[in-house]
Amino acid sequence: MTQGDTAETGQGGVGRRDTGAGTRRAGIRREAGAGTPRAGIHRAIRAASRPGPWKRGLVLAASALLLGLFMLLHAEIPNRIGNLGSLVETFLPWLGLFIPVLLAGALWRRSASAVAALLLPVTVWLNLFGGLLSDKSHPAGDLTVTSHNVGADNRDPAGTAHDLAASGADVLALEELTEQARGTYEKGLAKAYPYHTVQGTVGLWSKLPLSDTQQVDIKMDYGPLADTKPVDIKMAYTRALRTTVATDRGPLAVYVAHLGSARVNPRAGFWTAQRDRGAQALGKAVAAEQNERVVLLGDLNGTMDDRAFADITSRLRSAQDAAGDGFGFSWPAEFPVVRIDQILVRGVEPESSWVLPATGSDHLPVAARISW
């Protein structure tokens, strides 16, 4: 190896050592630079760009607030388009199911804003329905009343009559009676109920004497030709009656009604015209009632949260709301989601209200015990 080569190699080694030292010095400079104001600004920008618990889940928070306002202002939802307001009020309790869904999303997102926003729908729902979560029944009572839409398609009317007779009701209202099944109910209930009346498709069976029975026109047959139809045809449209039950505490006016159906379809939306017309007529009949004590039994095809029943609920109160345990859903019988079978009272005190076991009908029977 020549001296030149040795010198070159030595110089190269020095060069490599110098390069390593330069790298270390650059690292030292970078570390020193990490504490500069510029680096602090970069860190602040990165921290600010990461949303905190109050910034996360803003969509969930907005959804919670809208849900709360939707329930709080349900009476302001117009019925002009497809009876949307009445449809919402029919299933109003079920809007509460969105609360745990939104809560799960808020916890998953760790969103403090969404959790805070959920206080509104929770408060509104509890204010509307919290009272139904407790048992308000009392063991007292002077008279037990029961109402049941027995169902026109009921394949076992004899079994239904047997179950109702065994329920122990003092007064029993039946709706949706057919001509074919009427005799079966009359025979099956005769032993337990010596008094009864049937008007059209509704009837009342009682252990106590009845008097002053009359039909109630709830405008089922409506229009310019309604008054020209024969009596036998009109009877098919009779779906409400009024009678007086003689109790040891004085007369009790009892109404039995089966209002028109409500339907949901794409063209008309929530169609309730016939039902709403009947509710108004029934409300007028109750308003004109002279008896201080009144009980209304029947399938009203709607919940008492629905504004369509304002003429009725302004004069009568729900036995289930006052003395029931839970919501008392009655339809459909296989999986009840709404209470459309009602017991409403005036001038008497509801002590308890409950739903009876299923029969062959698509409705569940409902019962209440009242006192004077």
Mean of all residue pLDDT scores within the chain: 89
pLDDT score of 226 more than 70: no
Phi, psi of 355 (to 5 degrees): -110, 135
pLDDT score of 230 more than 90: no
The DSSP secondary structure of 25-81, one letter per residue, reads HHHHHHHHHTTSHHHHHHHHHHHHHS--TTTTTHHHHHHHHHHHHHHHTGGGS-STT
Residue 3: its pLDDT value, please? 47
pLDDT score of 363 more than 90: yes
pTM of the predicted structure, to 2 decimals: 0.83
Measured CA to CA, the distance from residue 278 to residue 237 in angstroms comes to 12
> Residue 98: which pLDDT band, with cuts at 50, 70 and 90?
very high
State pLDDT tens for residues 242-282. 999 999 999 999 999 999 999 988 777 899 999 999 999 99
Q: What percent of the chain is predicted at pLDDT more than 70?
A: 83
Burial class from Cβ neighbours inside 10 Å (0-12, 13-18, 19+) for residue 182 reads: middle
Q: What percent of the chain is predicted at pLDDT more than 90?
A: 78
> Could you identify the residue written with the tokens 């345990």?
325
